Amino acid sequence: MSDPAPGPALLERSTRVVLRPVGNPLPLGFLALAGGTLVVSGLQLGWVDAAEGGNVAVVLIAFVFPLQLLASILGYLARDVVAGTGMGILAGAWLAVGLVLFRSRPGATSDALGLLLLLAAAAICVPATGALLGKLVPAAVMFTTAARYAVTGVYELTGSAGWEDGAGYLGLVLCAVAFYAAVAMLLEDVRRRTVLPVLRRGAGQVSMTGNLADQLQRLEAEAGVREQL
């Protein structure tokens, strides 16, 4: 006669979920974003000669893409789907920009890249909306990125110098916002308290001020623990 199936109480007592603390990957991702948008703005505003477009592409491929990909992976491991999704979209978008720029002649535009950037602008609004529920400064970074991608996408589709200048100046604003967010979140992690305003609220505030029990609420419903995504 087969043994009876274990009851829910026995399963609950015999199940262990192991959590591994990780450092906050957002400062790394935001600093990579600041670097990427700065060099592209330099190219768009004429600070960098158009003939150096290949060098700008190398910066995006060798510096921005791998750092944001790493930030995306660590974001998912840290159970933050907003960080993982946002950094993943940024990594893919900057890699695409770098590869197209590397293959194009100086000063050329690309309709294909323009369409991708418009999609990326809409896509980055998805994790940005999630960030609004917990951390307003990261949300501001993502929404500014969406605007920067959208304006750059229109420039790629139209070739208009006005849209190019607008994208370049918006890129400088994004560089400043991303750099501030990186500094604020890094200091917060190092000091274990808010030093520069991150504008946390809701679950984002509880994650800094709550206890361990607060962090583990509804853990059984999270991806990687529940049976289906």
Q: What is the pLDDT of residue 195?
A: 84
At the topology level, CATH places domain 24-194 in 1.25.40
* Rounded Cα gap, residues 183 and 77, in angstroms: 22
pLDDT at residue 180 in the model? 97
pLDDT tens digits, one per residue of 109-144: 999 999 999 999 999 999 999 999 988 999 999 999
What pLDDT is attached to residue 131?
A: 92
The runs of H, that is alpha helices, within 78-135 are 81-103, 111-131
User: Which residues are CB-neighbours of 61 under 8 A, at least 6 positions away?
Assistant: 95, 98, 99, 102
Residue 104, helix vs strand vs coil = coil
Question: How far is the C-alpha of 121 from the C-alpha of 142, rounded, in Å?
Answer: 9
Pick from 20-24, 55-59, 182-186: least confident: 20-24
Residue 223's pLDDT is 62
Q: Which two tokens stand for residue 2?
A: 């087969």
pTM of the model: 0.87
pLDDT at 201: 74
Residue type, 177: V
Per-residue confidence band for 1, with pLDDT thresholds at 50, 70 and 90: very low
* Residue 228 pLDDT level (bands cut at 50, 70, 90): low
**pLDDT tens sequence across 26-85:** 999 999 999 999 999 999 999 999 999 999 999 999 999 999 999 999 999 988 899 999
On the question of pLDDT at 164 being above 50, the answer is: yes
Domain boundaries, the chain: 24-194
pLDDT digits (tens, 9 = 90+) for 39-48: 999 999 999 9
Burial of 142 (0-12, 13-18, 19+ CB in 10 A): buried
Return the pLDDT at 45: 96
Q: Which residues contact 208 (CB under 8 A, 6 or more apart)?
A: 188, 193, 194, 200
Q: How far is CA 73 from CA 70, 89, 141, 192, in A?
A: 5, 12, 19, 23
